[in-house]
Amino acid sequence: MFHRIRRRRATKPSKLERRSYEAYVRMAGQVPVEVERVRAAQQPAEPAPSVDDFLPRELRVPSHDQLDGRMMPWVQPIVLDREVVVCAKCGAYRDWLILSTRDQIWLRCRQGHQQQETRLDTAWYNRFAGPADAHHETFEDCLRHLGH
């Protein structure tokens, strides 16, 4: 089978192949008449006026590197590895504040005790955290906003 392909390639192109190639070369640099007509009808567009398209400062959201951390309320119990997470000091097991800062997750109970939770990571926090509804200057302001 391959010897037939090699023989066919070694022979000169047929008359039909030569005509097709010549027609292709003739048409290669041409542009259809309709395209030329449309180009001629179009007028050069005026440059768009420069407009400041940034949001006003009060509507801008800070990026992750501009924030010291993020937090969200978590009312139901947290179950990790088939265990309910419990506050090490007071024994609370629900109504947490989950803090995400410097690639660490911290849990804060209603009494104000904080403990680092190494079984959770920033990816887990990002998966369950909703959009931020406010930005605060201090940690205490955020606690007040979330009712703790």
Residues 136, 83 share a domain = yes
pLDDT values of the chain reduced to their tens digit, one per residue, 148 residues: 677 777 777 777 788 888 888 888 888 878 777 887 888 778 777 777 777 777 887 777 777 777 888 999 999 999 999 999 999 999 999 999 999 998 899 999 999 999 999 999 999 999 999 888 888 888 888 888 888 8
Residue 51 domain-assigned?
A: no
Residue 90 domain-assigned?
A: yes
Residue 46 domain-assigned?
A: no
Residue 91 domain-assigned?
A: yes
Longest Cα–Cα distance in the chain: 94
Residues 127, 71 share a domain = yes
Residues 88, 133 share a domain = yes
Q: Kindly report the backbone phi and psi dihedral angles of residue 70, in degrees, each rounded to the nearest multiple of 5, phi listed first.
A: -135, 155
Residue 87 domain-assigned?
A: yes
Specify the number of domains making up the chain.
2
> Sheet harboring 114-116: ordered strands across?
70-74, 96-101, 104-108, 114-116
- Indicate yes or no: pTM above 0.85: no
Q: What is the structure's pLDDT at 97? A: 94
Residues 35, 72 share a domain = no
Residue 32 domain-assigned?
A: yes
Closest CA to 147 of 77, 90, 76, 71: 71
Residue 119 domain-assigned?
A: yes
Residue 34 domain-assigned?
A: yes
Residues 137, 77 share a domain = yes
Residues 33, 90 share a domain = no
Residues 134, 72 share a domain = yes
Range of the domain at 21: 2-41
Cα R_g (the chain), whole angstroms: 34
